[in-house]
Structure 1
Amino acid sequence: MMGCGSSMDTNSVIEEPIQSLERWQQGDMDPAAVIEEFVRLDERISKLEATCPGPRMATAEAWVEHLQSQRDSLLGVDTVDMALNPQNNGALQQQQQQPQQHQYRQQMNSEILTLNEIDATTPPPIHQPPLQPLSVTAATIATSKANRGTLLRGNGATTNGVGGAARQANNSIVANTPTQDLANLAINLGVVGDVNKASTHEDFFASLSESALYLTSIRYYTEILEHTKVRLKTLTESYNELNELYVHHDGIIAFISGGTYMTRLEESLDSQLEAARDVRDKLGSALEQWRICGTLLRTSATSATQALQQWQQLAKAIDPKHKIQLALECRAALQAALISVECAQLALPHVEIKHISNRQLLAVKHCNTYMITDIANLARYQHTSKVFISFESNASKASTWLYEMFNKTLRHDFDKAEETVRHLAKTLRDHREEVFTAARK
């Protein structure tokens, strides 16, 4: 392979050669200027390749597909049925993509990491067996200029761990019970300040909460999905830009050399560079998975902190309406934290995240389900407070642990691989510049 074959370059994005090459072919341009253009393009390619847009794009594409599958499973949508009924599928997606005025989207947007990497101060995920993980077969995406790699997706039906048998039965109730109506219902039934009334209506409100949280989970999955599509669009643009550079770069090389290696050293260096790029690109795909996981975990920790603050404010509130409002806001923030954790674990299933256990997640979900009727019971309120405090603390610890582990392992390996690629690319560039210059004299 003569050109810069890496970052999963496939077919050319454009067909026309650069103007400098065309002018040279017509004898209107100094050959030295074309060689300078070759060097400039090669340097730009090396710089852009270091961000691994191709491998990252493939990982993001697989993640979008997986999130779509997870959300469709929650919705009870059959993939085959969707394929046979594209109109219904389009209507469903249009409905799900309606703007959501919720703090969770703001948190996700504020937690976006840079294109190149993860920063070193943030939170992590949890183990969620019921969910199907994104299959990461050794975190690999085989990449080459002629072969586009992909990540395999997990298979099977999934749930998000929220809800139970009564879920579907109560969906119609929840659909007709907006948040404010639910708050009014809790106040009218006196469950906010009366322990006995709270106990009497406990199962009823738990059932409503369970179904409401299930529907909220679908909305959060949709928001994460849309957020990921934005990321995918950015990576796709970088990937297309790299392809365009490849076309120009390879055109110059092909014109000068006639499509053959001019020296054995050039052939050897090009072969070594391709192998080094393959290693770097596979690590690059893994970087994107860690980035996804890290972003979601940081969002989870932020939401958990917000939920804890609202829960603690609830103890100081006197007005029942204010208490209910704080409780519902706390419940929403906790659900955002839980869904973020679940998705984070799906994105990086082969990494055992420290500090957060499945048992703790179940405890948080249970408290979130019974939150409204636990407000009036001091003992339960104190118990719930302990659960939330522990979860908030462990979410931050887990996030920090993930980033520390990333910097100690994958970050180091990728930097080493990139340094090898950079060195070989410069050596090959300098050699070609020398050979091309000699050939034009």
Structure 2
Amino acid sequence: MGCGTSAILDSPQTDSLSVARGRMKNKNSVDEFIHLDEEISEMEGLCPGPRLATAEAWIEHLQEKRDALVLNTDLTQYNSAKDQTVTDSTVVTVNQEFINDSPSKDLTRLVINLGVLTDKHKASAQEDFFANINKSALEVVSMRYYNEILDHTKSRVKLLTENYRTLNELYVQQDGIIALISGGTYMTSFEESLDSQLETARDVRDKLGSTLEQWRICGLLLRACSKSASQGLQFWKSIKALRSPKDVIHLVLECRNNTQASLIALECAQLSLPNVEIKFVSNRQVLAVKHINTYMITDIADELRYNHVTKVLETYEENMQNASSWLYETYNSTLRKDFDKAESTVKTLSGKLRSHRHELFIKETERK
């Protein structure tokens, strides 16, 4: 009994229990079988099987990347963690200590006192100092966004687990009715042949269903990447209109954090589809964005540098929008069509088998 899906990349997370609760109870066992079979067909469309396996594997992969980030942290006070096994509680503790003891805690005061917002010579002299502060802060931001992506995926797994459990309960109920009427054996060779064909078709669809979840993950991450890139650019362009140094620093940090969130989302999107080269994304551009994000604070005073950062962020934001659109267009023109064809085959065979069993079961119940 397969578990495929017809959900699109950005499909809402349907509550499977509402499907189960909506089923009408019927005293007639044959009618009950038909209702169950139809419901199973709909539940299989939510893909609790292949999608769940893919999502669980994705969580493990993300945790490995997140844990490596903790262990490779460049702050000496956490070097002792490198010889320990990283757990979720370790990450939470380290993350919170980073935030409480972050070098950017007094950043506003430092920036104002050192005059790096208005004097490009002072900014140039202090750029390495503030770059180091930014690097430490960006490690905190990176861990935070990895954790957010993990939490989102865990919620997805919880939903799929509930769907999978509900579907299996329906299978048990259906098998019970079949056993009651036919003794759990095939009543005709045609029934056996249809069931065999259906299982083969379900296997094909389920393999595509697993791939669908990968593309769904990548698609959602690229959308998040594009959205954060747009927000970061908006913050950066708003800086020049401000007069208060505190307001300027606030927007710079908002720009920095959103840009880092975009980079993390892009990194995870590439990890989720390792065998797909995402169009409009280049390592050179990613390195350029990482560089400006590190030196962003000291680039404001220098008009040439400010304009350079603006151009880099504009190009990056445009490319991320294009990359997101490309992924969805590619999905709809390739994988989606393949899946729809496989799903159509499953539904056709399922309908034939359901109709044939209905005739058989009616005759059997009348005979008894």
- Fold in common (TM above 0.5): yes
Question: In structure 2, what is the equivalent of residue 69 of structure 1?
Answer: 64
TM normalised by structure 1 equals 0.73
Q: In structure 2, what is the Cα distance between the partners aligned to 1:294 and 1:96?
A: 30
1:251, distance to aligned residue in structure 2 (A):
0.8
1:56 to 36, 41, 51: 51
Return the letter of the residue paired with 1:439: E
- Where does 1:221-236 land on structure 2 (aligned, <5 Å)? 221-236=146-161
Q: Deviations over 1:240-299 (max 9, x none)?
A: 100000000011112222121110000000000000000111111111111100001001
Structure 1 residues 263 and 79, CA gap change in structure 2 (3 angstroms): farther
2:123 equivalent among 195, 198, 201:
198
Partner of 1:255: 180
Quick one: which of 299, 304, 309 aligns to 1:379? 304
The code of the aligned residue for 1:330 comes to C
Partner of 1:108: none
Report how many residues are paired: 337
The answer to whether the 8 Å contact 1:193/1:320 transfers is: no
Instruction: Specify the SS of the correspondent of 2:49.
Output: helix
CA-CA distance at 1:177 after TM superposition: 3.5
Out of 280, 301, 305, the position equivalent to 1:355 is 280
> Which residue of 2 is the match for residue 140 of structure 1?
none
Q: Equivalent residues in 2 for 1:4-23 (5 A)? A: 5-7=1-3
What runs of 5+ residues in structure 2 fail to find an aligned partner?
5-25, 73-80
Q: Deviations over 1:207-259 (max 9, x none)?
A: 11112112211111011101110111111111110000000001111222212
State the alpha-carbon separation in 2 of the partners of residues 200 and 313 from structure 1.
25
Paired with 2:139 and 2:177, the residues of 1 have a C-alpha distance of 57
- SS of aligned partner of 1:403: helix
**Structure 2 CA distance for partners of 1:185 and 1:79, relative to 1, 3 Å:** closer
Q: CA deviation at 1:96?
A: 7.5
SS at match of 1:261: coil
In 2, the alpha carbon distance for the partners of 1:275 and 1:176 equals 58
CA contact (8 A) 1:360 1:391 kept: yes
Counterpart of 2:191 (choices 243, 266, 282) is 266
CA RMSD between the two structures: 2.1
Q: Distance in 2 between matches of 1:281 and 1:51?
A: 11
Name 2:268's counterpart in structure 1. 343
Following the alignment from structure 1 to structure 2, what is the Cα–Cα distance between the partners of residues 201 and 239? 57
Counterpart residue number, 1:89 = 87
Q: 5 Å matches for 1:96-135? A: none
Measured after TM superposition, the shift of residue 79 of structure 1 is: 10
Structure 1 residue 80, shift from structure 2 partner: 9.5
CA distance in 2, matches of 1:359, 1:282: 35
The normalised TM-score by structure 2 is 0.87
Q: For residue 314 of structure 1, report the CA deviation from its aligned partner.
A: 0.6
1:188 Cα offset (Å): 1.1
Map 1:302-313; keep pairs closer than 5 Å.
302-313=227-238
Hey, what does 1:426 align to over in structure 2? 351
Higher share of residues assigned helix = 2
Q: Give the conservation status (yes or no) of the 8 Å contact 2:104–2:134.
A: no
Letter matched to residue 6 of structure 1 = G
Contact 2:71 2:82 in 1 (8 A): no
> Does residue 44 of the first structure (1) align with residue 39 of the second (2)?
yes
Shift of 1:95: 3.9
Higher RCO (C-alpha 8 Å, min separation 6): 1
Amino acid at match of 1:426: G
Q: Specify which of 309, 324, 328 is matched with residue 249 of structure 2.
A: 324
For structure 1, list consecutive stretches of 5 or more residues without a partner in the other structure. Answer: 9-28, 83-87, 99-170
Give the whole-Å Cα distance in 2 for the aligned partners of 1:333 and 1:325: 12
Q: Is the 8 A contact 1:96 1:222 kept in 2?
A: no
CA distance in 1, matches of 2:296, 2:95: 29
Contact 2:236 2:310 in 1 (8 A): yes
Question: In the alignment, residue 280 of structure 2 is paired with which amino acid?
Answer: H
Q: Counterparts of 2:209 and 2:188 in 1: how far apart (Å)?
A: 31
Provide Cα deviations, 1:171-219, integer angstroms capped at 9, x if missing partner.
Answer: 98x8634645112211111111111110111101111111211221111
The one-letter amino acid of 1:364's match is: V
Contact 2:3-2:48 at 8 Å conserved across structures: yes
**DSSP-derived class of the 1:424 partner:** helix
Give the fraction of aligned pairs with identical amino acids, expressed as a percent: 57
Native 8 Å contact 1:97 1:222 kept in 2: no
What is the CA–CA distance in structure 2 between the aligned matches of 1:440 and 1:307, rounded to whole Å? 68
User: Cα gap change, 1:43/1:403 in structure 2, threshold over 3 Å: closer, same or farther?
Assistant: same
Paired with 2:89 and 2:351, the residues of 1 have a C-alpha distance of 52
CA–CA distance in structure 2, aligned partners of residues 93 and 316 of structure 1: 39
